[in-house]
Structure 1
Amino acid sequence: MRLRLRRFPLTKAVPLAISRGSTSAVEHLLVVLEHDGITGCGETGGFDTGHRAYETTAIAAELEALAPCLVPMAPEPLQALEPLLAGLSPPARCGLDLALHDWWGQRLGQPLHRLWSLDPGACVATSVTLGLGEPAAVLARLERWWQQLPATRIKLKLGSPDGLAHDLALLETVAAALEQRRRATGVACELQVDANGGWTLDAARAMLEPLARAGVVLLEQPLAPQADAEADTAGFAALHPLCPLPLVADESCWDLADLLRQAPHVDGINIKLLKSGGLAEALLMARTARRLGLGVMMGCYSDAALLNGAAAQLLPLVNWPDLDSHLNLVDDPFSGLHLDADVLVPPSGAGLGISLRQEPC
């Protein structure tokens, strides 16, 4: 097995601001795995959740150090590689996991969702994201989304460093715009709120009534994630009995262990491949969450169509898709991830079903 890495830039058409800061561009890694005349590809990159952070350079170093160990091995059975993958950070493991799954699907000539017996017809609309900003700028971003696709599910970022008054103004502005669109078009838009850990417990409690009054359908990660698992769980446990809308854990839920710990205190989880370490853990988490009666969100960071195309293989298991990052890129080197109105369609090609439009620099 031969492993190669290529770095490539990703530039947002519209910078995204959340409670922890603003992002306009990132650098990601293309992970290329070659064996027996078949090439599998994965994507990974650095990210920061406030209590854990990974740099793309360090991820590349992990994979480069592992590459010699892979030379005498084969991509299947994947179980034989699990001890090697277990020692990697989640984003490094994700890049290799995706390349391995892409290789496997191509070897069998089938998309992953078909190999997992998932139904592409069960997919629902993806949300699109409105970052923090002044109300007029946020409304302009919303109009830009509506020019690009139907966008019937809107995710509003709150948790502003400027405080709850700013959050309330944004919430009121966006809710009014959605109601105006409903009256004009007859199409109702769903409003979700993601605070990205920007609220204290008291602030989150204070926001519950305004959120419900504005018709918000779910609240994602209102509290800052804690490195201590017991303290992290305690925050959700204190808020959940008071919350009149579904409460979803994102930065506080990385893997199956986190899911099981949070399950009694949340109504859903946000799975992101860079957090979970790839598709193997993500599939297990999605199936477990559904068995436990929890809603599943599938999210992204500043990801290109390769990462989001991999996540899209799981969309038949997802209640709340949130895979819009590639739609906000001006230099995405990948193709093959398509929309039907505002519903992402799991790629039908073998493996991940995503093609390289141009070789990354």
Structure 2
Amino acid sequence: MRLRLHRFRLSKAVPLAISRGTTSAVEHLLLELEHEGLIGRGETGGFDTGHRHYDTEAIAAELEGLAPELECLAPQPLQPLEPLLAGLSPPARCGLDLALHDWWGQRLGQPLHRLWGLDPGACAATSVTLGLGPIEAVLARLERWRLQLPSTRIKLKLGSPDGLDHDRALVQAVRRALRPGDELQIDANGGWDLDGAQQMIPWLADLGVVLVEQPLAPQRDAAADTAGFAALQGLASIPVVADESCWDLADLLRLAPHVQGINIKLVKCGGLSEGVLMARTARRLGLGVMLGCYSDGGLLNSAAAQLLPLVQWPDLDSHLNLLNDPFAGPEREGDVQRPAQRPGLGVQPQEVH
């Protein structure tokens, strides 16, 4: 195998503010894995969850250091490659895992979802994200989304540095702007303390909010992290979804007794190998599955879209807010995205303006 890395910049049309800060652009990596005339592609990049941070340059160094070991190996079967991938950070492993899956699907001439036996007709509508900000700016962002796609599922970021009163005002303003049949989700991105979360969750449930994601800051100590979610159970009949606290299958199993859903992100869990395992396990345990993204481009979200038939709450909207994405995102009809029918990840280059 020959591994090539290319750096590219992704710029947002509208910067996104969450409880940890604001993002307007990121640098990502395109991996190209060539073997026997086929090229498998993957995308990855750095990110920060508040308790863990990964830098794009460090990820690139990991992958460049691995390249010589790949030269004498083949992309398939995957099992002999597992020890190499296991030593990588989650985002580095993700990029390589996606390229390997893309190559495999191309070699077999099938999209991954078909090889996994998934039904693209089972996909649900994606949510669109409203970042933190003044009420007028948040409502203007909602109207901009509505010009782009139906936007029937709204995810509102909370955990404002201005406190719970501002969070409540945002919720009330967005709720008034909803149309009949629209759904409101809340993502605090770990921006509340335990007292704040215990106040907000019942209040949000009374307003008809359908879920609350990552109400508490993630903890490096697993026992402390689990205890935080356990303290939130029984407050109201509203699903609590773990995101930054849930990285892999081990975290899923740890949190399963104390949450009603998990958010899978490919760069967080290390790619499709772990992602499909987590999605199937969560469903078997009766948990809802969210499929999310960071500031990811069309290639990464096209890869994630292969899992959409397993997902109750899709949240793949980052590529819809980019000015210069070199790859088209998942196939879309209205606000329902589906995995591509082309082989592998089904990614398509597009002209960047």
User: Tell me, what secondary structure is at the counterpart of 2:251?
Assistant: helix
**Residue matched to 1:216:** 209
Residues 127-206 of structure 1: matches in 2 within 5 Å? Answer: 127-178=127-178, 181-182=179-180, 188-206=181-199
Is 1:262 aligned to 2:234, yes or no? no
User: Tell me, what secondary structure is at the counterpart of 2:262?
Assistant: strand
Match of 1:274 among 267, 271, 283: 267
User: Tell me, what secondary structure is at the counterpart of 1:44?
Assistant: strand
**Residue matched to 2:307:** 314
Q: CA deviation digits over 1:301-335, x for unaligned, max 9?
A: 00001000000000000000000000000000002
Residues 12 and 329 in structure 1, CA contact (< 8 A), matched pair in contact too: yes
Q: 2 CA distance for matches of 1:213 and 1:288? A: 31
**Residue matched to 1:333:** 326
Residues 291 and 308 in structure 2, CA contact (< 8 A), matched pair in contact too: yes
| Deviation at residue 99 of structure 1 after TM alignment | 0.2
Q: 1 CA distance for matches of 2:91 and 2:351? A: 23
Q: 1 CA distance for matches of 2:331 and 2:325? A: 14
Residues 270 and 299 in structure 1, CA contact (< 8 A), matched pair in contact too: yes
Runs of at least 5 residues in structure 1 that lack an aligned partner in the other structure: 183-187
| Deviation at residue 241 of structure 1 after TM alignment | 2.0
| Deviation at residue 243 of structure 1 after TM alignment | 3.4
| Deviation at residue 357 of structure 1 after TM alignment | 2.4
Q: 1 CA distance for matches of 2:329 and 2:194? A: 42
Residues 208 and 244 in structure 1, CA contact (< 8 A), matched pair in contact too: no
**Residue matched to 2:30:** 30
Q: CA deviation digits over 1:56-84, x for unaligned, max 9?
A: 00000000000000000000000110000
| Deviation at residue 358 of structure 1 after TM alignment | 5.2
**Residue matched to 1:108:** 108
**Residue matched to 1:2:** 2
| Deviation at residue 242 of structure 1 after TM alignment | 1.5
Amino acid at match of 1:111: P
User: Tell me, what secondary structure is at the counterpart of 2:118?
Assistant: coil
Residues 297 and 329 in structure 2, CA contact (< 8 A), matched pair in contact too: no
Q: 1 CA distance for matches of 2:200 and 2:109? A: 50
What is the percent sequence identity of the aligned residues?
75
Residues 319 and 329 in structure 2, CA contact (< 8 A), matched pair in contact too: no
Q: 1 CA distance for matches of 2:76 and 2:236? A: 46
Q: 1 CA distance for matches of 2:329 and 2:164? A: 41
**Residue matched to 2:343:** 350
TM-score where L is the length of structure 1: 0.97
Q: 1 CA distance for matches of 2:322 and 2:149? A: 15
User: Tell me, what secondary structure is at the counterpart of 1:113?
Assistant: helix
Amino acid at match of 1:322: D
Match of 1:233 among 214, 226, 234: 226
TM-score where L is the length of structure 2: 0.99
Q: How many equivalent residue pairs?
A: 353
Q: 1 CA distance for matches of 2:139 and 2:328? A: 29
| Deviation at residue 336 of structure 1 after TM alignment | 5.2
**Residue matched to 1:55:** 55
Amino acid at match of 1:20: R
User: Tell me, what secondary structure is at the counterpart of 2:166?
Assistant: helix
| Deviation at residue 213 of structure 1 after TM alignment | 2.4
Runs of at least 5 residues in structure 2 that lack an aligned partner in the other structure: none
**Residue matched to 2:17:** 17
User: Tell me, what secondary structure is at the counterpart of 1:241?
Assistant: coil
| Deviation at residue 214 of structure 1 after TM alignment | 2.0
**Residue matched to 1:249:** 242
| Deviation at residue 11 of structure 1 after TM alignment | 0.3
Q: 2 CA distance for matches of 1:323 and 1:79? A: 29
User: Tell me, what secondary structure is at the counterpart of 2:14?
Assistant: strand
Amino acid at match of 2:81: L
Q: 1 CA distance for matches of 2:24 and 2:236? A: 33
Q: 1 CA distance for matches of 2:146 and 2:111? A: 30
Q: CA deviation digits over 1:82-117, x for unaligned, max 9?
A: 000000000000000000000000000000000000
Q: CA deviation digits over 1:164-205, x for unaligned, max 9?
A: 011000000001111xx32xxxxx100000000000010001
Amino acid at match of 1:307: L
**Residue matched to 1:292:** 285
Q: 2 CA distance for matches of 1:147 and 1:71? A: 48
